[in-house]
Amino acid sequence: MEVRIASTLQSELPVLWVVSPETDEATWAAQVGAVGLTPAQFPLAKRLRFFNNGSVAALQVPLPAHTLEHLRRGIFYALRKAEEVGWKEVQLTWACPETQTDEDFFQTLGEMSLMSLYRFTKYAVDPPASVERITVIAPERYQGAVERGFIIGRAVNMARDWVNEPPNVLTAEELARRIAAVGAEVGFSVEIWDKARIEKEGMGGILAVNRGSLNPPTFTIATYKPENARNSRPFVLVGKGLVFDTGGLSLKPTPDSMDAMKCDMAGAAAVIGALRAIAQLKLPYYVIALTPSTDNRPGENAYTPNDIIHMYDGTPVEIRNTDAEGRLILADALVYARRLDPAFVLDFATLTGAAAMAVGRYASVLCTNAGSAFRDALLDSGQHTYERLVDLPLWEEYGYLIQSDIAAIKNTGTGREAGAITAAKFLEYFVRYPWAHVDIAGTAYLTSPAPADRAFPRHYQIKYASGVGVRLTVDFLRRHGERLFS
């Protein structure tokens, strides 16, 4: 699928008008006038309307409210309708009075042009026909915002592709190779630690989880350091890169539990997707993304409940459940991050079923030790991108639940209470800098499409990988970076 930008409508191609409720008669007259129509021929409507007079084909999608989120849903709906009726080439137009629009709306047009028709078709034998080219109509002063949206939309789709990729293809080594390929393409440097190096370093969390596997682990350090960086201390991203989580010896019961666990590297996909967009947008910040990666399997030499392992900083950890493996590989990465003297560390991980139980698919769980400036910026970006966050506490008492009688800490809480928080408390134990953790277990991979809302019977949060975390991170840096990192 191809996307491009034009300043004015052409009458030969079908027009998708996504219409703000702020649109008045004069604005609409100018819109339809551009393809030789009058409002009398194609009036402003309250509901979806098709138009075709032989020379102009069009679809009008009125939004129920003037928000970015309604625009996302409207664009998705318009493009999927266009696909349904078999239009191969369309023009996407935002009908809105000048005074009511801004760059954010045009950026959203760019993002959703790429995200709306996404499908994972790599292995499909008969993929459905779809729209082949979208021309986004934007006045010149907003074309930069549309381009920015294209970059972000492509990064989201890349993250989705990686998460959707089956685990026999996307091994830890393959993940590292792909990260290196992205770095070469968009301009960040990548250092890959192989198993020998991870052993030499003593990353005991990654090695323990990897013991039951025949495939070696990797640890990848991706660095984007532009000459004009505003920050001297890096903004560090960490993503859980668990390429498949069987649970290990504490084997997950299928179905409903193991059967979607190729998604357990969605944190890694999110941070590399974000870094890709950050580099392509040439944002003036020094950013490093760390991705510890392995699968978690019950092979003959698998790590075992009751084991005591030693993490990268030497901390002895009692293993209670081999399915609580994400925190072990992340902890090694968080220890590594100490030497980077980071201004802030943000991790994304499909860490706990408990996070999904607590807030479902409508939010990711945030836990942070950083001050309100970082917290509020993240919550704000969550609202702005609609990759919403719910803030849960890291109170001292939750730490008691992971105290061990025989080691420093244990890798699960006592009982099932506060599972998302005890996992975050485990991570916090290894952290020595301002840090935030985002648990995306409920949002990274949907096994059914999101239910529709009243206005649009189909929602853009489609089945399978969502690419969550990419838009959030880019927005956080773009809109709050200057204040937080200068």
Q: Kindly list the catalytic residues.
A: 252, 327
**Cβ neighbourhood burial of 314 (10 Å; 0-12, 13-18, 19+):** exposed
Minimum Å distance from CB 308 to ligand BES? 17
Q: Does 354 bind ligand BES (CB under 6 A)?
A: yes
Distance separating alpha carbons of residues 312 and 335, to the nearest angstrom: 7
What letters, b where the CB count within 10 A reaches 16 and e where it falls short, cover 156-192? bbbbbbbbbbebeebbbbbbbbbbbebbeebebebeb
Distance separating alpha carbons of residues 95 and 15, to the nearest angstrom: 11
Distance separating alpha carbons of residues 177 and 183, to the nearest angstrom: 10
Q: Which amino acid is at 155?
A: A
Q: Does 264 bind ligand BES (CB under 6 A)?
A: yes
Closer Cβ to ligand BES, 174 or 323, answer by number: 323
Distance separating alpha carbons of residues 161 and 362, to the nearest angstrom: 21
Closer Cβ to ligand BES, 131 or 389, answer by number: 389
Q: Does 332 bind Zn ion (CB under 5 A)?
A: no
Distance separating alpha carbons of residues 157 and 149, to the nearest angstrom: 12
Distance separating alpha carbons of residues 133 and 236, to the nearest angstrom: 37
Distance separating alpha carbons of residues 173 and 151, to the nearest angstrom: 26
Q: Does 245 bind ligand BES (CB under 6 A)?
A: yes
* 354 binding partner (options Zn ion, ligand BES, none; Cβ < 5 to 8 Å by kind): ligand BES
Minimum Å distance from CB 326 to ligand BES? 4
* 441 binding partner (options Zn ion, ligand BES, none; Cβ < 5 to 8 Å by kind): ligand BES
Minimum Å distance from CB 201 to ligand BES? 23
Supply the DSSP string of 274-316, one letter for each residue: HHHHHHHTT-S--EEEEEEEEEE---TT---TT-EEE-TT--E
Q: Does 326 bind ligand BES (CB under 6 A)?
A: yes
Q: Which amino acid is at 209?
A: V
Closer Cβ to ligand BES, 260 or 343, answer by number: 260
Among 412, 443, 461, 466, binds ligand BES (CB under 6 A): 412
413-442 footprint of ligand BES as x/- string (CB under 6 A): ------x---------------------x-
Interface positions, 224-243, toward Zn ion (CB under 5 A):
242
Q: Does 19 bind ligand BES (CB under 6 A)?
A: no
Binding site for ligand BES (CB under 6 A): 245, 263-264, 321, 323-326, 350-354, 356, 412, 419, 441
Binding site for Zn ion (CB under 5 A): 242, 245, 264, 323, 325-326
